[in-house]
Structure 1
Amino acid sequence: MSLKDRLIEQITLEGPIPVDAYMARCLLDPIDGYYIKNVALGAEGDFLTAPLVSQMFGEMIGVWVAQTWLGMGSPTAFQLIEIGGGDGTLMSDILRVAARVAGLTEAARVTLVEPSERLRARQSEQVPSAVFAATLDAVAEDLPVIVIANELLDCLPARQFIRTDDGWFERQVGLQNGQLTFGLVPVGEDFAAPYDAPIGEIVEISPAQMRFAENFALLIKRARGAALLIDYGRDRPQTGDTLQALYRHQKHDPLAAPGEHDLTVWADFPTVAATAHKAGVTISPIIPQALFLQRLGIEARHAALTQKNPDQAGKLQRQYDRLMAPDQMGTLFKALGLASEGVNLFALEAVDTAL
């Protein structure tokens, strides 16, 4: 029985399910979840992450890691953690830069947090020295940490609420004529929207992103260190339905093929930042990816690569534009830093202290 059939059976017996529960099942169902069975990365897959666009992205993150490590006093041992590392390309690029900084490679204990066995296998090929953890909770806390999470928040599902003339309703997945469909379910009187919205507008709330931010912050606070989050999403409270299904780089109906398409929502950076700050860490401003990469020196790296490989100048320019252009990843993608007290967030201009 397919995941779609099992979802239809469940809804028939138990009633509609919230959007976040539907999304979680589609991604992580132990039998047919997308990340368990069907995940496909790269140009021939379903989506292309920044590390797969160009080595320049991973190299700039490597610069950030190096500068952060130096700013922490160059601890002789620390955990270099990546959460949701795709096929391992990003960490591989980071470590190539780390090898140029005296003592950094020897100090780094590379840990990859990845629940998907399929992706673990690919990551181990790129980073043979890595140890693996299935969840962030499984990461040891006896060493300082530097943590990277690129395009992770968008995989953490959100609930959807809509304001109508009759008040607030939750958008849920139900059935119509035996097929999956979206519908509205009344919310309790105790529901409080995080911000006002016009009639007919959807407000997304992600308990999963908030839980992650809190756990993330507590790890950084206890272990001492810093973290970098990069993803596509909002940098201010904003309404709208951001749920999308991706298959072979094309958008599809999110209800059409549960488990076969990648489902994502926008990262809610303001809520993630506020949750982490409340948990007691310093937060940076939320800045566009292009500005962050520019501060790390991507323009100089692009020029150097072009000079060294003149026959690849056109390709390198296209890669650079994909990462930096306002109409591509440069503005839609944001960067946010978190740090324990006294740790500088290089290139992110930390402006607030822990509560």
Structure 2
Amino acid sequence: MSNIHAPNRNTPLAMELKESIRQDGPMTVQSYMGRCLWDPRHGYYRSQRVFGAQGDFITSAEISQVFGELIGVWAGVIWRNVLGAPKTVTLAEYGPGRGTMMRDALRASRVVPGFADAARVHLVEASETLIEAQRATLSDFSDRVTWGADLDGFDPPAIIFANEFLDAWPAAQWVKTDEGWRIRGVGLDITGELQFTDLDGDCPRDAFEALLPDAQLGAVIEAQRLDQLASTLKRLSERGPVVLLLIDYGYTAAAAGDTLQAVRNHVYESPLASPGEADLTVHVNFYDLASALHRAGLDLDGPVTQAEFLGAVGIIERASRLMSANPQRAAEIEAGVARLLAPNGMGGRFKVLAARSRGLPSLPGFRDPAADEPPGQARDAGR
């Protein structure tokens, strides 16, 4: 994916945001990101065709069917060996895109005896446009799929998937200025165009100074509301056993930096360039995520890299069988798997973390934490 410098465009949402700023003053980066993605009329996920070659980005499930198939078999093993093969189990997915991963997972899960009969699918989705796409993708399984917008709107026991879900959660930012740490926001420059600015308001300045005493002017600290996900899983666990598998791009060591980025038509641009018409994301801080989940009383496995996880659950073996059965597609299958495992690409930049209700055994696909190396520097984790 290439980078370009694109001038700000007067999209319909850009004009609304400018008028709002003129009337009410600058908004926080978190509010700006939320409006760009979820504005009722002009938000990116309300209207854009976001996935696939004709969209703005391609997920792992869109690259290779092997990805979703392995997730489905993994879920079947969890149902049988970790949850004890309950009569019914909810397969929930947060932010299921077009439904591609769930479709491939359901097809492959039939190899685990009894699992297909036990599974009930619940998709957590707020976009009506994407729900229609999911209905079409999952038409073969329509008798057991439900939808909802609430993170806990289903019953345990449950196995929950979240693939490239948290990267779209709006993040708050703070910036180091001559006056110390301040909230980072979006306002207007002297020509009336959108620009980043700093805002008055409550700011944990002492904590930031203690965390980064040598921070340079312009340094940015970024944080998502990961406690919201943790509290949701805690509530679900109080109703029954829960397992979460979360896959996203990000870093595993505590760090600071501005990771807000925009992608339109597979090309990077300024997050201010095309409000409502570009995909805005941030890198997930897996250190903060693991801490929030642990505080909520959940046991954890990982994080590991996507390459490590997929390798542990048999991606090479599965791809080899698929290539033997479909020799005319062998090159395509091999290329897709190579992309998923690339150490300097998706294989290393994407991380996998699992959370489970207290008392459940460790999950397959994760190395022994005792064997981990001490955390190093956070690597660049661009999509």
User: TM-score range with shorter-chain normalisation?
Assistant: over 0.9
Query: How far apart are 1:240 and its partner, in Å?
Result: 1.8
TM-score (norm 1): 0.93
Mapping for residues 122-271 of structure 1, pairs under 5 Å: 122-127=133-138, 128=142, 129-137=144-152, 139-141=153-155, 143-176=156-189, 177-188=191-202, 190-191=204-205, 192-193=207-208, 195-196=211-212, 198-199=215-216, 200-207=218-225, 209-271=226-288
Letter in 2 for 1:46: D
Percent identity between the two aligned chains: 40
User: SS of the residue aligned with 2:351?
Assistant: strand
**Deviation at residue 17 of structure 1 after TM alignment:** 0.9
Query: In structure 2, how many angstroms separate the alpha carbons of the residues matched to 1:343 and 1:315?
Result: 38
Moved more, 343-352 or 292-301: 343-352
Which of these residues, 1, 15, 37, is aligned with residue 5 of structure 1? Answer: 15
The answer on whether the counterparts of 1:221 and 1:281 sit within 8 Å (CA) in structure 2 is no
Structure 1 gaps, min length 5 = none
In structure 2, do the counterparts of structure 1 residues 140 and 249 end up closer, same or farther at CA, with 3 Å as the change threshold? same
Q: Distance in 1 between matches of 2:43 and 2:316?
A: 39
For the residue of structure 2 that corresponds to 1:330, the secondary structure is helix
Q: Does 1:118 align with 2:114?
A: no
Deviations 1:106-162 (A, max 9, x none): 11111001011111111112222310011214x133x31110010000010111112
- 1:62 aligned onto 2:72: yes
**Could you tell me whether the CA contact under 8 Å between 1:285 and 1:336 is conserved in 2?**
yes
Structure 2 counterpart of 1:158, which letter?
A: A
Q: Following superposition of structure 1 onto structure 2, how do residues 24-39 of structure 1 map, counting pairs within 5 Å?
A: 24-39=34-49
Paired with 1:195 and 1:59, the residues of 2 have a C-alpha distance of: 42
Quick one: distance in 1 between partners of 2:202 and 2:172?
A: 15
The one-letter code sitting in structure 2 at the alignment partner of 1:294 is G
Contact 1:233–1:268 (Cα < 8 Å) also in 2: yes
Contact 2:70 2:314 in 1 (8 A): yes
Amino acid across the alignment from 2:61:
P
Secondary structure of 2:195's counterpart equals: strand
More deviation, 219-228/267-276: 219-228
How far 1:101 moved relative to its partner? 1.3
Q: Structure 2 CA distance, aligned partners of 1:302 and 1:261?
A: 33
Give the paired residue count.
Answer: 349
Aligned counterparts of 2:169 and 2:368: Cα–Cα separation in 1: 25
Cα distance in 1 between the residues matched to 2:203 and 2:366: 41
Provide the rounded CA distance (Å) in 1 between the counterparts of 2:26 and 2:201.
Answer: 13
Q: CA deviation at 1:221?
A: 4.4
- 1:97 is paired with a residue whose SS is helix
Equivalent position amino acid for 1:43 in 2: A
Report Cα offsets for 1:236-279 as digits up to 9, x if no partner: 11222111111111111111111111111111211111111111
Which residue among 48, 51, 55 is the counterpart of 1:41?
51
Q: Structure 2: how far apart are the matches of 1:188 and 1:131? A: 41
Give the letter aligned to residue 157 of structure 1: P
CA distance in 2, matches of 1:110, 1:188: 42
Which AA in structure 1 matches 2:197?
G
What is the CA distance between 1:190 and its match in structure 2? 4.1
* Structure 2 runs not aligned, ≥5 long: 1-10, 371-383
What do the CA deviations read for 1:296-332 (whole angstroms, capped 9, x no partner)? 0001112112222333232222101110011220010
- The one-letter code sitting in structure 2 at the alignment partner of 1:279 is A
Shift of 1:186: 4.5
Asked if the contact 2:69–2:109 (Cα under 8 Å) also holds between the matched residues in 1, the reply is no
Q: Which AA in structure 2 matches 1:107?
A: A
Q: Distance in 1 between matches of 2:134 and 2:368?
A: 31
Indicate the residue corresponding to 1:338 in structure 2: 355
**Is the 1:110–1:131 Cα contact (8 Å) retained in structure 2?**
yes
The separation in 2 between residues aligned to 1:117 and 1:166, in whole angstroms, is 44
Tell me if structure 2 keeps the 8 A contact 1:161–1:203.
yes
Cα deviation for residue 169 of structure 1 reads 1.9
